[in-house]
């Protein structure tokens, strides 16, 4: 039993960072990870940088996605950055990881969240404008104007405005959402726009008809389709199937009679329930 406990403790230690990793300097950890690719050191490096990934995910808080989902995507980008980082290049890890994490977040919105697809060229400009806004905000210590963004990217102001408008309208609002917000007492647009579908009352009949059709003979189903779907006359149907117009008329009457009987039978069964 003691031997088993010792083995379990050894396995646990191999899975989790120990005091050496917790106390080690980050530069030392990066060098050891680059050399050995130790999963324990990888876990410690990820743990140390999770707060940084969270700060990047917070940039997108307030979008339609839950923050927990965004944080998961940011952490995935962090893992990818840890695996690809080379400490010998002489740049800080956060500078290397930031584009990777933000890229994961943007791909998440592009592939899973946006309900309005935009042309690829416009989508690429959106990424450029987003980057320019971030850089200019740091440089100017305020939000940049449309003209300043256009000058930075070498674009026309109308192109920048198009990007900003597309970014604003990338997810349409639900018709069930009140105009004044979720807490508003106003009726949602779905209650005061649009017209009542006059064919709605036909739905029940169509369902009953679909249930009755399997009880018809193949020839009866063909004649019904030609008459009511293809909108052919009885004479045209007769020519199509090689029978007289009078015979087609009898087939139609018989088929319709069977359908009525089947529908009445179904309604009788429902009434008995």
Q: Closest by alpha carbon to 105, among 83, 87, 130?
A: 130
Asked if residue 26 and residue 94 are part of one domain, the reply reads yes
Which CATH number covers residue 149? 1.10.10.10
d(CA 167, CA 159): 12
What 3-state DSSP class applies to 169?
coil
Sign of CA dihedral 94, 99, 104, 109: positive
The verdict on residue 177 lying in a domain is no
The verdict on residue 48 lying in a domain is yes
User: By residue range, what is the domain housing residue 141?
Assistant: 116-171
Which CATH number covers residue 42? 1.20.120.1810
d(CA 162, CA 87): 40
Q: 74-117, pLDDT tens digit by residue?
A: 999 999 999 989 888 888 898 889 988 988 887 777 666 555 55
The verdict on residue 180 lying in a domain is no
With contact defined as beta carbons under 8 Å apart, do 213 and 221 qualify?
yes
Which CATH number covers residue 216? 1.20.140.160
User: What integer pLDDT is reported at residue 82 of this predicted model?
Assistant: 92
The verdict on residue 12 lying in a domain is no
What 3-state DSSP class applies to 136?
helix
Instruction: Give the residue from 94, 113, 132 where a domain finishes.
Output: 113
Asked if residue 97 and residue 130 are part of one domain, the reply reads no
The verdict on residue 181 lying in a domain is no
How many domains does the chain divide into?
Answer: 3
Asked if residue 216 and residue 151 are part of one domain, the reply reads no
Asked if residue 121 and residue 109 are part of one domain, the reply reads no
Asked if residue 256 and residue 206 are part of one domain, the reply reads yes
Burial class (CB in 10 A: 0-12, 13-18, 19+), 131: middle
The verdict on residue 184 lying in a domain is no
The verdict on residue 190 lying in a domain is no
Asked if residue 69 and residue 133 are part of one domain, the reply reads no
Q: 227-273, pLDDT tens digit by residue?
A: 888 888 999 999 988 889 999 999 988 888 888 887 777 666 555 55
Asked if residue 223 and residue 251 are part of one domain, the reply reads yes
Query: Is this model's pTM higher than 0.75 or not?
Result: no
Asked if residue 70 and residue 24 are part of one domain, the reply reads yes
Asked if residue 124 and residue 106 are part of one domain, the reply reads no
Sign of CA dihedral 129, 135, 137, 139: negative
d(CA 140, CA 9): 55
User: What integer pLDDT is reported at residue 22 of this predicted model?
Assistant: 54
The verdict on residue 176 lying in a domain is no
């Amino acid at each position: 039993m003691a031997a088993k406990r010792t083995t379990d403790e050894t396995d646990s230690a191999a899975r989790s960072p120990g005091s050496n990793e917790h106390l080690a300097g980050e530069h030392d950890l990066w060098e050891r990870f680059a050399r050995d690719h130790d999963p324990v050191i990888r876990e410690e490096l990820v743990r140390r940088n999770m707060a940084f990934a969270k700060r990047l995910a917070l940039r997108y808080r307030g979008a339609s996605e839950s923050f927990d989902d965004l944080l998961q995507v940011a952490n995935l980008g962090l893992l990818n950055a840890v695996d690809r980082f080379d400490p010998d290049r002489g740049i800080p890890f956060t500078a290397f990881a930031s584009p990777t994490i933000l890229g994961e977040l943007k791909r998440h919105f592009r592939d899973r969240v946006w309900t309005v697809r935009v042309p690829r060229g416009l989508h690429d400009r959106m990424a450029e404008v987003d980057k320019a806004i971030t850089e200019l905000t740091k440089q100017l210590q305020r939000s940049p104007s449309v003209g300043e963004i256009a000058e930075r990217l070498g674009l026309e102001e109308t192109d920048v405005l198009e990007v900003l408008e597309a970014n604003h309208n990338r997810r349409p609002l639900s018709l069930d959402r009140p105009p004044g917000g979720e807490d508003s007492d106003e009726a949602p647009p779905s209650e005061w726009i649009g017209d009542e579908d006059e064919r709605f009352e036909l739905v029940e009949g169509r369902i009953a008809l679909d249930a009755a059709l399997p009880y018809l003979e193949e020839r009866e189903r063909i004649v019904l389709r030609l008459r009511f779907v293809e909108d052919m006359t009885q004479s045209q149907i007769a020519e199509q199937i090689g029978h007289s117009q009078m015979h087609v008329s009898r087939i139609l009457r018989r088929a319709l009679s069977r359908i009525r009987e089947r529908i009445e039978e179904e309604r009788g069964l429902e009434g008995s329930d």
